[in-house]
Structure 1
């Protein structure tokens, strides 16, 4: 769906106007980026469309919207969805850092009666602010296909008190875990590990993945594979053994990484790696893009990474690799495209950060 309002038709005009205001002001500017392998990676601060800037610097930040949401919750609601920064769940451990491909961080779905219309509007505003505006319709399409629309099977939690030294907003559901932490989560990009996925054409999508909003990331990676020479392709292709998709904990600088080290690439090939990286971070707000690049720089840049393509799980046996992985000492971006897309992301500047999956 192009608008989250299309899933609900019982809002009065005043609520709709408030919601549209929050949605507009929550959107961030579209900011371009370039990454240089083997040297500091820098994403420019912004671009403009024509002569006009795309967004005003006075627009609310994701974090300020989380604070507004927190303040709008009643004490009874906070008991259900707000937790201490280091809250430990009896079954799931440190709840704030939990990651899975399909889970509910709390029992209250966004579209339940638990939340008011205005609270749902704030949740939606936070959600939209975490993505680039041109990705909103794509993410909504994923939610439509996988969960019946935004909020139908999504739940949220807030850890710590927004505006304090440490706080984090987490939204989960089928094929989705996203975070907003105001840079208060030490060492981590995105505030911690994230997950995204899509089953656009049923559980078994087929080799072309029709309608999958994330498949273009794999298309870009396969273009890179085709640009490798024969020896490089042999190094990059893992013929036996596909790692468990959840295995995205950090190995550190002494890790045994699958695939080809990016130090084996020519300058032209490294530019193609940059294109892949740009495609991977493309959906997200600039702040999260910058954190990814900063973390990557601190652990040695792309030259510290390996790239692996996996023969196992090649749908259609067509040599277009559905499963692939970009990994460094404290950087893991694991793309599983078989039988449909699951992507696990874990990025930090310190390999000692533990994964809770």
Structure 2
């Protein structure tokens, strides 16, 4: 979409980034360095193409892991670049707290965009693209690219996204965090203990503006809701009474509750075998957009806490676009698992998964 979207009250005001990102541009010499940096040698070492670097149909030839590429990006950076986008592992922002673990529906963790700013060379932007494509399942590259383009006034990938690196890649714990409107993605190489995805993540899509129509035409994530609604269709009357919740929970309420938590909706343990089988399909649909190692980590964390049988599924009835009982807002939650899907007025998904409930959320 080439036109700008209407103002979205709950996601058009991005959270403040670290004060370090507000310094603005530095001297001309620095910008000139970034244009002429020897990072081209890094790209050649990757074996990446130099044609259409960022199109959905043109993929880098590199076969390295995203974590290896994070180190390669870090090593290619100048001192000035590192001052701008690199942080200590447990860096505490004066306003936002532990910056590495923060999550929001629309925020910029650092100031420079991946593409279109003077901070990154073309070759460095290509490395970041390769990291992104390594985190996302290949079947979802085009879909997530579409989401980013729709949500940023027709601008392509990287033109509205930012990254930060925490720790020192290749020397202990490290994590790259990518942010922007309707995106918080992480690449940590399992440095973050106990957490799936390296920490809480966020994704969303406003395919046709702030207020989407029933059925959410063009929304790349709506298929996940349809899979969950298949469970509802299989429930009998008494089960539906348990599953239906009259008021949507706050979408950012995804702190892990533990075994003694209060979970909305119907316990999966109370479902029949065929209903549980469909719940497994819902779970697979939710984790489908991500690389296999992250999918495996989600399943391992869930298993540690008793699996889906320890989770509950809720369909919120106060926001039903079209009054069709195809529920737009729903939530799957267990002791250390939260997947909150809200699609009225458009899709926002908050995800927080760990192998225990002691991990705290910074939102």
TM-score, length of structure 2 as denominator length: 0.84
Deviation at 1:165, TM superposition (A): 2.2
Question: What's the counterpart of residue 171 of structure 1?
Answer: 178
Give the counterpart of 1:116 among 109, 113, 121.
121
In the TM superposition, residue 224 of structure 1 has moved relative to its aligned partner by 1.0
Asked if structure 2 preserves the Cα contact closer than 8 Å seen for 1:18 and 1:118, the reply is no
Aligned mates of 2:316, 2:52 — CA distance in 1? 48
Alignment correspondent of 1:138: 143
1:324 aligns with 2:330: yes
Q: Structure 2 CA distance, aligned partners of 1:280 and 1:191?
A: 17
- Number of equivalences: 313
Matched, 1:219 2:255: no
- For residues 268 and 100 of structure 1, the distance between their equivalents in structure 2, rounded to whole angstroms, comes to 36
RMSD: 1.8
- How far apart in 1 are the matches of 2:294 and 2:259? 23
Asked if the contact 1:19/1:118 (under 8 Å) is kept, the reply is: no
Shift >3 Å, 4+ stretches:
17-20, 22-26
Q: Determine the structure 1 residue equivalent to 2:300.
A: 294
Separation in structure 2 between the aligned mates of residue 336 and residue 352 of structure 1, nearest angstrom: 25
Instruction: Give yes or no for the alignment of 1:16 onto 2:50.
Output: yes
Match for 1:65 among 58, 66, 69? 69
* Equivalent residue, structure 2, for 1:34: none
Secondary structure at the aligned position of 2:165 is classed as: strand
Tell me if 1:153 matches 2:160.
yes
Listed as ranges, the gaps of 5+ residues in structure 2 are 2-39
Match of 2:23 in 1: none
SS of 1:190 mapped into structure 2: helix
Q: Which of these residues, 244, 249, 254, is aligned with residue 248 of structure 1?
A: 254
Shift of 1:18: 9.8
Asked if structure 2 preserves the Cα contact closer than 8 Å seen for 1:83 and 1:157, the reply is yes
CA distance in 1, matches of 2:278, 2:124: 43
RCO (CA 8 Å, sep 6+): is it higher in 1 or 2?
Answer: 1
Query: Residues of 1 paired with 2:283 and 2:327: CA distance?
Result: 17
**Equivalences for residues 193-232 of structure 1 within 5 A:** 193-232=200-239
Q: Deviations over 1:194-239 (max 9, x none)?
A: 0000000111111110000000000000111101111111100102
Partner of 1:345: 351
Unaligned 5+ segments in structure 1 are: 2-11, 27-58
After superposition, what is the alpha-carbon deviation per residue over 1:14-51, rounded to whole angstroms, capped at 9, x for unaligned?
Answer: 9725958x94345xxxxxxxxxxxxxxxxxxxxxxxxx
Report what 1:233 is aligned to. 240
In the alignment, the residues of structure 2 paired with residue 338 and residue 73 of structure 1 have an alpha-carbon distance, to the nearest angstrom, of 41
Counterpart for residue 88 of structure 2:
84
Moved more, 143-152 or 214-223: 143-152
User: Residues 25 and 60 of structure 1 are in contact (CA less than 8 Å); yes or no, is this contact kept in structure 2?
Assistant: no
* Deviation digits for residues 64-114 of structure 1 (CA, Å, limit 9, x no counterpart): 011111111111100000000000001110000000000000011111121
Distance 2:323 2:82 in 1: 51
Does residue 181 in structure 1 map to residue 188 in structure 2?
yes
Distance 2:133 2:114 in 1: 14
Q: Does 2:278 match 1:272?
A: yes
Equivalent in the alignment of 1:125: 130
